[in-house]
Chain A
Amino acid sequence: MEMKPVNNTSLKNNKNFFAWFKYKWSNEPLFSTAIALIIMVILQTLVLGFDYDSVGSWFQSWTNNWINILRNNAGIGIVALGMTFVIMTGGIDLAVGSTLVATGAFAMLLLDTGTRGLLGMVGMSGLPAFVVTVILVLLFGYLLGSLIGVSITKGKVPPFIATLAAMMIFRSVTQHFTQGYNTTVPAEFLQIASFRMGDYMIMPIIYWAIIAYILYYVSKRTTFGRQIIAVGSNERAAKLSGVNVEKVKVRVYALMGLLVSIAAIIQVSRIGSMDFSNAGRGMEMDAIAAAVVGGTSMSGGRGFILGTVYGMLIIAVMNNLLNLFGVPPFLREAFKGLIVIAAVLLQKKEKTS
């Protein structure tokens, strides 16, 4: 194709825009995802209706709607970030939902105001107890993730199998040890997620944003982040370039566990309880969907933290739209499926060999 210089300025601008758009579309992996997100948001705004008479109150309800969307998806959004790394190494983590329950149960066991509260037993309460809880729960999540990582690397169990097993084990053990007990979490603990800034309950959103930023930085700028890509793209070459492949993998699964435990703390501190038999079910699929919609390749090597945030938002906004349209709940999963397929088709087209 030949691009001839054009003299007419207005035409030139026009052409430049299309050339720019085409260039971005085929060269920037996140461009199409971002466009899709913008279209979704515009659509959503249209559906919500723009009120010319009272812009103020329209904006108020628009904001509230968004805060709700973001807050409801913060936990899973955080998990999806970890899933992106896992998938980038060429692996998968099916155990996130069960890890959520295990770490959540551990948090509640530590905090319980009844007779079984572990920290209560050693006479700890209030802020110190909360700090200790958070630290221990994060460590526990990290540990569970490391266990999975070690079984994959040292035990040479394929990730799908290792995490499938972990998924069954973690939940079942948790349910066994928590059956019949009602735990209550101290009301102050709920501040972690429910603290209000002004009128807004946005702590989970802030956590999500901070973690997304950190992980974005990690993926772009650190040895660890870049080594993840190397491992997922060509494991043998990574190894022969001095990358400690096993260590990278263990750390990725450990990080996944850590992020799930953060999601667990957010969930426990939002509603004060957790349903151990149902919480986190299907979470792995939602996290994978967000990553895939965001441009992460299931075969490893290619993935984008920012893309996963977009992917999560696309799915969330779509859910919101379906809600607004009154689509029956059972049909909603079908739409999610369609979005995933559409995203992958889009990315196929843009992939330059």
Chain B
Amino acid sequence: MIIEMNSIRKSFGSNDVLKDVSLSLEGGEICALLGENGAGKSTLMNILGGVHQMDQGSITIDGKSQQFSTPAQSQEAGIAFIHQELNLINDLPIYENMFLGREIKTKRGSLDLERMFQETKEMFEKMNVDLDPKTMVRDLDSSYKQIVEICRAMMTNASIIIMDEPTTSLTDREIERVFTMMKTMKDHNVGIIFISHKLNEVLQVCDRYLVLRDGNLVAEGNVSEVTTNDLAHFMVGYNVRTESLLREKELGEEVLSVEALTYNHTFKDINFSVKAGEVVGVTGLLGDGRSELFQSIFGADDISSGKIYLNEKEVKITSTTQAINEGIAYLPRNRKENAIIGDMDIMENASIVTWPKFSKRGVIDQKKQQDTFEKQRKTLRLKMGKLTDSITSLSGGNQQKVVLAKWLASNPKLLILDNPTQGVDVGAKEDIYDIILKLADENIAIVVLSSEAHEIIRVCDRALVMYHGVIQGEVKKETMNEHNIMSLATGGQLT
């Protein structure tokens, strides 16, 4: 099977997103589609997936011209699509989600739940996924949801699989499994288009690369002939910094410290502290409980026992409103579910946290709100249209920047960032690291939660590694390397 997209053009209003892009893919190859945030990667794939219609151009499969006006038509042609944002039905169990739109029926026409369950179970066994297919999707953590989506796409017997940033909320271990799966599919002559901002992944699994910039194809070639630095350069058009960010500095007073913090089985007996000006990383594998821990500290969820001190005074935080008033900011992971408010525009999504601060007697000061955002918009190099455009019209990475903007606007004393660079391109990642270090220089205490060891190593002064809800160990300076982090994260000890 060979699929070709020829001279595709697409614009949204006056925004020309794709200007004459061509792409071809054969069965049995994995092709990376790269580009800055807002370059048009998702848009191009949405056209192939029947979500959006192209303005001009053509799509052919094995030389036959195709027209996809709905996602269903694209699926019928053998294309499976894993979207950038999660797309599962929360109120159905996993195994029913796996067969959405292509349900297995019994002879009498009712759903064959038993078979759907069995097939899902087999798939999970093959993928080494430790999940009960009967679990409701609502109860899954976002990383598991991502895994379910990947399995679903792989089960469709598609000849082409589009993966739009499938690994953003996965940890190395699951990513490995996904890659193994991808290689198996490839051996079975399936073609895969793989979108990612993690360039080392690209080198690891892909055969070819295509780079989009401003709606044009600017580079393509074989992955074996390039380095991550080359790819980064193609994407943003300049050399992306790679040198170390480590610095020596004086730390201030203790801003946050927790004592024996526990919540059921999610996290147990957690003790640590963060000083002003310090950047502390927290990492671990799936199910380590780090997000739950910090959501509880932020007042969004309960704790069953333990103490929290802010500036050495004990506090009981019962609501997120209170946490913000205490000077805490928490940027959650998984933006679609935890941060993006689809019915509000860009401006509002960027300012929701500061409404109370920027209002007099309950009336929001629009001007102040706008000025604050305009400043951030420049530092974060947000690619967007009007302030009043819907947040969902932004590309994934740019949505993430909006979420970051809203927390920066709150001027926190303690900034907790949970997977802050989710879906952000290489250039913008460096911008975010700069912001983190600058804030640390301004004596803000910062906690970075991330599953990417190299991200932790780049920006953090020291890092806590969690394993099944407990802090397994701490790494700093000389001991802070991928090997040590990995061994702690899998329940081992520092050697």
Contact = CB atoms under 8 A, between A and B. Distances in A.
Contact of A241 (B55, B362, B392, B406): B406
Contact of B343 (A1, A223, A232): A232
Contacts, number: 82
A240 interface: yes
Interface string B306-341: 000000000000011101100000101000011111
Contacts of B348: 226
Given A221-B364, A242-B321, A243-B320, A230 B300 contact: no
A186 B339 CA distance: 55
Given A230-B341, A301-B342, A302-B343, A240 B363 contact: no
B364 A223 contact: yes
Given A222-B363, A223-B362, A237 B353 contact: no
A24 interface: no
A234 interface: yes
Given A234-B341, A238-B341, A301-B342, A243 B363 contact: no
Contacts of A239: 300, 320
Contact of B344 (A233, A236, A240, A244): A233
B339 A226 contact: no
B252 interface: no
B395 to A, nearest CB: 15
Given A236-B337, A301-B342, A243 B352 contact: yes
Nearest to A230: B341
Contacts of A226: 344, 348, 352, 355, 364
A287 B332 CA distance: 38
A227 interface: yes
Interface in A168-193: none
A262 interface: no
Interface in B153-203: none
Contacts of B300: 239-240
By size class, the interface of chain B is: 20 to 34
B343 A240 contact: no
B227 interface: no
A221 B366 CA distance: 8
B406 A244 contact: no
Contacts of B221: none
A183 to B, nearest CB: 38
A240 B339 contact: yes
Interface string B383-410: 0000000001000000000000010001
Interface string B347-385: 010001101100100111010000000000000000000
A203 B71 CA distance: 55
B340 A234 contact: yes
Given A222-B364, A223-B364, A233-B344, A241 B339 contact: yes
Contact of B319 (A223, A224, A229, A244): A244
Contact of B341 (A223, A224, A237, A242): A237
Contacts of A244: 319-321
Contacts of B353: 241-242
B403 to A, nearest CB: 9
Given A223-B359, A240-B332, A241-B320, 13 more contacts: A1-B55, A224-B362, A229-B341, A230-B341, A233-B341, A234-B337, A234-B340, A238-B341, A240-B298, A240-B339, A241-B353, A242-B353, A243-B321
10 contacts: A223-B359, A223-B363, A227-B352, A229-B344, A233-B341, A234-B342, A238-B341, A241-B352, A242-B323, A242-B410
